[in-house]
Amino acid sequence: MGVIVYCITGKKKHMLSVFRKIQYYRNHTQLRPVSGERKKQMNQTDFGLSKETCDGVIFDLDGVITQTAKVHATAWKTLFDTYLKTRAARENQAYIPFDADKEYRTYVDGKPRYDGVESFLKSRGIDLPLGNPSDDLSNETIYGLGNKKNEIFNTYLQKQGPEVYEDTLSLMYEIKRQGWKIAVISASKNCIPVLEAVGIADWFDTVVDGVLSQKLGIKGKPDPDIFFEAARRMEVTANRTAVFEDATSGVSAAKKGGFFQVIGVNRADNESILKKAGADVVFSDLCDIRINDRLPVRKKEMASLPPALDHVQQILQRAKDRKIALFLDYDGTLTPIVNDPEKAFFEPGHPAERWKKWPKNGWWPSSAAETFTTIQNFCKLDNIYYAGSHGFDISARQICSEMQKGKEFLPVLDKARVSWNKNPDPYPGCGP
């Protein structure tokens, strides 16, 4: 009898984390062979990665791993259009808006923020002083415009959140699983927060971002310094390291640095431009890259998965006679997220009520900070295996197991609870 495991959570980041851990403990590879027909559809039928020639892989962040390049382009356009319109009116000149496609890729994409400001303005014949790092837009300096762009970017990012490219995640997982070291580079100072937001910050052996570059005095693209630093931290050489880049400045930098393979990532129908910049190969879909003559298994985008609570019957049909193990998140899935745990309950018509109609011979593990009795009374189900107190204990009708190591932290948690009860304001989103 087989076992099907479902992780039901309202948090996409948690879902990705669980998926990653389940995949990690697979005993065998799940790569699909490359068929002859599939090879015909691939961008480069003779290209693949092999540990015989490559020890490390460097991925650019924006446009390769995450779709934040679109957010960056929008933020740059908002900044430059506002400034150019004001300047044109003041100097009685024609207003020509910023081209978020051509001018973004030519003067801004892949470069440190202040270099991007200076590069674009010079292309328009505008010469501004550098200014001070604390300047805002009112100062009309390179720093002032750059700081305003970062403010606009963060506002957009908070509203819509970052998204990841499915093909890159699939490729990175297989590369990492097969033993390569991987790094992520970015001119952005928001790199680590973005990686944390999408739940993959721990995938990389090293991160070289705008913060570290400023600290170490690393030159931005098209100089290859940022790639050299990533390779150095991975303890690999440039001539045995592959680089994935979607920006022409990044492609040129990696090529200039003599890296083993420079793979252009074509996200904007600019294959010819990437090749002209020096890309050895160009791919629109990174799942077309062979790994030992096999292709990575494409992982479904988390955002595209249908809500599990709305498809109970389909799940039951798929499971058939197999035993079902359900891992149910508590806050946000079983109950609404509320400040007072006593007020957490199924609202009338809440989809979670459907779990009560499932067969009684299934397993019903639940994970939460609440007590076993609380959850059992709340759900009114007899066959619950409770893994709670954030992993410190597991309880059921006939078993009770406590994590002894976890007991050492209970006084700290109790102290935190008292602190939250006295003054919860400094901790938005947190509760006792």
Contact (Cβ atoms closer than 8 angstroms) between residue 34 and residue 290: yes
> Cβ atoms within 10 A of the Cβ of 4, count?
14
Active-site residue, 280 included:
no
User: How is residue 167 written in tokens?
Assistant: 């093909």
Rounded Cα distance, 305 and 200, in Å: 19
Cβ-count burial of 3 within 10 angstroms (0-12 exposed, 13-18 middle, 19+ buried)?
exposed
Which spans in 101-218 are helix H?
102-103, 113-123, 142-160, 166-177, 191-197, 210-216
Helix 166-177, helix 12-24: angle, nearest 10:
30
Of the residues 62, 109, 280, 285, which is catalytic? 62
Q: Angle 144-184-31 (CA atoms, 0-180°, nearest 5)?
A: 145
Contact (Cβ atoms closer than 8 angstroms) between residue 8 and residue 327: yes
Tell me the three state secondary structure of residue 363.
strand
Question: Taking Cα atoms as reference points, which of 375, 368, 420, 373 lies closest to residue 392?
Answer: 368
Rounded Cα distance, 330 and 352, in Å: 10
Sheet arrangement for strand 294-295: 32-33, 294-295, 290-291, 48-49
Of the residues 46, 55, 60, 115, which is catalytic? 60
Contact (Cβ atoms closer than 8 angstroms) between residue 289 and residue 48: yes
Active-site residue, 285 included:
no
Q: What are phi and psi of 128, to 5 degrees?
A: -110, 150
Active site residue ranges: 60, 62
